[in-house]
Amino acid sequence: MKNTQCKKCLKKFQQKEIFTIQQFQYRKIPTYKWSLDFFKKLEIDEWDSFCENCMIEYSKKSKTEWDKLKV
């Protein structure tokens, strides 16, 4: 039963397939603190649910923004 909904695309998916921005605490760059601030500007809380595709998209977007700041 699909009972969780992605905040971005609104697609429904299995709860065990849930992704949150908390996953970003395991990457070294950008830092988790920076990621939290970045997503807060996008009105995304660390407990919001996302599907895998949207999480990958947000991961790339945050990395791109981080790279722009570091140039």
Please report, for residues 4, 13, 17, 47, the alpha-carbon distance to residue 28 in angstroms, rounded to integers and kept in the order given: 28, 28, 23, 20
Domain of residue 25 covers 4-69
Q: Which two tokens stand for residue 42?
A: 């996008």
Q: Where are the beta strands (DSSP E) in the chain?
A: 4-5, 12-13
Residues contacting 13, CB < 8 A, separation 6+: 2, 4, 5, 6, 51
Residue type, 39: F
pLDDT tens per residue, range 11-67: 887 777 888 988 888 888 898 999 999 999 999 998 899 998 999 999 999 999 999
Number of domain units in the chain: 1
Give the pTM: 0.82
